[in-house]
């Protein structure tokens, strides 16, 4: 059974659950820091360790972020809602319950429009959103013993509660129907669009590889769009955009193979394996799990005033998809160029540079070229480079005035990154200037020709490409400070050749 065959026989129904870790300074219900990477069990207190008598207090920014996310996803915001205790026993939950929301989510009934490429061109799919609710993250287990460091076969486990209590927002879609064969692409586009929105809101660093954005994929098949919903599987640990697409494709094919062979699909939780690209069976979901939810007595209800909600709505940033379309038009880019920009994380930096007066093409060239390379070499994010819009602006001015060439401009940027001051200071201190006086250039050309006596004849015979080695030698002799185009002109003038 391959995907095309599967999709010709069945109609897929998708459901996506995304957990996003908020970027607040403190945990949802206590003042412990959320900074990643601290020594084990040092960001903990009686509240997040679930010690007797400890009482939670609600993080205002956590609630505000939840409302902003709800608004950005076109949701309604609850007039009044409560937290609930979700009771279960697992060592990463020190309280033996997770403080979550049950039948009163803070945001509900929204949607997100996503665009994908189809056989009929670009098409919009509306993903219906059921709810977005507030909850808290769990601690982190590590498993000791056994062959693989995994939970199965481990001798015992170790728990670090630094992550326990970090605010999470869980965003749940309604069943997504009508995607047909594009289910994998729609799923991926949805998670990508959600990530862009969350990044634009500034509520999370949305790093899938570090677990601050996590996705569970629910999938079922039915024979026709008119049939009733089939049994679904829930695939967890789908932690990259590529995996979202692959996991949907894999599950469609797996379900179809079972159904075609006359087997039933088991309602279960499955685990996605990034390395092998398959899912394996986890927990069987027998009947609805009994979490004994009840309203959290230690936290008071939340009743966001309509004024507060409208204030937050008014402060929402432009929708990323709308902004992107606007920039594509303004900058005259192709969709492919724009993808490169967005994927490189350079969009905001380019926008800032353009706002400061840098030509869009130049800003894009620097941020997706030289600066991306430097950041990559150093293993840091683009925005961590100390390069300001004003630096690029001055650089471009000097380039168009002919006093810097591309190579010298790169050296000037190196100076900026090394903290040597502003562009003019660096140009001066490093002696970076295009040699425009033709005397030294002509002397360097003579030297280059003398060093390679045959080359002059070669060029005169019409093989203009041979000029490259002479120009290269001159650039080398002038330590890159010559204008290569001018050197070429002077060389041809000298030899009496015309291009």
Partner 1 sequence: MSGISQEDVAHLANLARISIPVDELGHYAKQLDAILNAVAEVSSLDTENVAAMSHPVPMTNVFREDIPGVSLTAEQALSGAPAVEDDKFRVPRILDEE
Binding site residues, partner 1, CB under 8 A: 24-26, 30-33, 39-46, 49, 57-63, 80, 82, 87, 89-91, 141-144, 151-161, 290, 292, 295, 297, 300-304
Residue 360's CB: how many other CB atoms inside 10 A? 16
Could you tell me the strand order of the sheet in which 213-222 lies? 76-77, 107-118, 121-136, 167-173, 11-21, 213-222, 233-238, 268-273, 278-284
Q: What does the DSSP 8-state code read for residue 299? A: S
CB 205, min distance to partner 1, A: 16
CB 284, min distance to partner 1, A: 11
Residue 94's CB: how many other CB atoms inside 10 A? 19
Nearer to partner 1, 56 or 230 (CB): 56
Nearer to partner 1, 88 or 111 (CB): 88
Give CA–CA dist 64/266, Å, rounded: 39
CB 214, min distance to partner 1, A: 20
Nearer to partner 1, 292 or 476 (CB): 292
Q: Contact, 196 vs 73, CB < 8 A?
A: no
CB 111, min distance to partner 1, A: 28
Query: Token digits for 13?
Result: 């129904």
CB 47, min distance to partner 1, A: 10
Nearer to partner 1, 106 or 475 (CB): 106
Could you tell me the strand order of the sheet in which 294-295 lies? 97-100, 84-87, 294-295
Nearer to partner 1, 47 or 474 (CB): 47
Query: Token digits for 172?
Result: 């749940």
CB 29, min distance to partner 1, A: 9
Of 106, 99, 88, whose CA–CA distance to 57 is shortest? 99
Nearer to partner 1, 8 or 305 (CB): 305
CB 292, min distance to partner 1, A: 6
Interaxial angle between packed helices 347-355 and 360-368, expressed in degrees from 0 to 180 and rounded to the nearest 10? 140
CB 149, min distance to partner 1, A: 13
Strands 233-238 and 268-273: parallel
Q: Which residues contact 206 (CB under 8 A, 6 or more apart)?
A: 20, 195, 198, 199, 212, 213
- Please give the full DSSP string across 127-145, using - where no structure is assigned: EEEEEEEEEE---EEEEES
Nearer to partner 1, 154 or 442 (CB): 154
CB 54, min distance to partner 1, A: 11
Question: Phi and psi at residue 400, in whole multiples of 5°?
Answer: -70, -25
Interaxial angle between packed helices 320-331 and 183-201, expressed in degrees from 0 to 180 and rounded to the nearest 10? 90
Nearer to partner 1, 111 or 294 (CB): 294
Question: Phi and psi at residue 454, in whole multiples of 5°?
Answer: -75, -25
Nearer to partner 1, 26 or 481 (CB): 26
- 439-467 exposure pattern, b = at least 16 Cβ within 10 A, e = fewer: eebbebbeebbeeeeebbeebeeeebebb
CB 345, min distance to partner 1, A: 26
Nearer to partner 1, 270 or 410 (CB): 270
Evaluated on CA atoms 276, 282, 287, 292, the torsion sign reads: negative
């Amino acid at each position: 059974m391959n995907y095309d065959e599967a999709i010709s026989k069945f109609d897929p129904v998708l459901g996506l659950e995304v957990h996003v870790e908020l970027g607040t300074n403190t945990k949802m219900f206590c003042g412990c820091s959320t900074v990643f990477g601290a020594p084990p069990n040092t960001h903990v207190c009686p509240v997040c360790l679930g010690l007797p008598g400890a009482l939670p207090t609600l993080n205002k920014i956590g609630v505000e972020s939840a409302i902003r996310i709800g608004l950005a996803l076109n949701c309604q915001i609850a007039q009044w809602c409560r937290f609930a205790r979700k009771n279960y026993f697992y060592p990463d939950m020190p309280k033996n319950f997770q403080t979550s929301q049950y039948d009163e989510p803070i945001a509900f009934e929204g949607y997100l429009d996503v665009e994908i490429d189809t056989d009929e061109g670009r098409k919009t799919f509306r993903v219906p959103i059921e709810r977005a609710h507030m909850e808290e993250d769990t601690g982190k287990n590590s498993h000791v013993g056994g062959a693989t460091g995994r939970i199965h076969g481990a001798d015992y486990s170790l728990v670090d509660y630094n992550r326990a209590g970090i605010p999470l927002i869980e965003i749940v879609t309604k069943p997504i129907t009508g995607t047909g064969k594009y289910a994998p692409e729609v799923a991926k586009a949805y998670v990508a669009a959600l990530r862009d929105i969350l990044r634009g809101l500034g509520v999370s660093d949305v790093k899938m590889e570090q677990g601050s954005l996590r996705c569970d994929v629910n999938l079922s098949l039915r024979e026709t769009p008119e049939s009733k919903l089939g049994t679904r599987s829930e695939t967890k640990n789908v932690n990259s955009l590529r995996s979202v697409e692959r996991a949907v494709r894999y599950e469609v094919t797996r379900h179809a193979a079972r159904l075609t062979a006359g087997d039933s699909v088991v309602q279960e939780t499955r685990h996605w394996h990034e390395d092998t690209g398959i899912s394996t069976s986890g927990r069987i979901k027998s009947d609805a799990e009994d979490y004994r939810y009840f309203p959290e007595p230690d936290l008071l209800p939340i009743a966001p005033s309509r004024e507060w909600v409208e204030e937050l709505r008014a402060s929402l940033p432009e929708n990323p998809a709308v902004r992107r379309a606007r920039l594509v038009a303004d900058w005259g880019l192709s969709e492919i160029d724009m993808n490169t920009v967005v994927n490189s994380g350079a969009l905001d930096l380019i926008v800032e540079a353009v706002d400061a007066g840098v030509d869009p093409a130049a800003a894009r060239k620097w941020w997706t070229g030289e600066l991306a390379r430097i950041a990559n070499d150093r293993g840091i994010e683009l925005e961590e480079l100390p390069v300001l819009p004003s630096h690029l602006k001055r650089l471009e001015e000097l380039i168009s005035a002919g006093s810097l060439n591309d190579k010298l401009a790169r050296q000037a940027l190196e100076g900026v990154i090394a903290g040597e001051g502003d562009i003019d200071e660096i140009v001066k201190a490093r002696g970076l200037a295009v040699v425009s006086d033709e005397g030294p250039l002509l002397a360097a050309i003579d030297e280059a020709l003398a060093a390679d006596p045959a080359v002059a004849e070669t060029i005169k015979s019409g093989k203009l490409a041979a000029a490259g080695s002479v120009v290269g030698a001159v650039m080398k002799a002038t330590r890159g400070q010559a204008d290569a185009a001018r050197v070429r002109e002077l060389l041809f003038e000298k030899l009496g050749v015309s291009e």
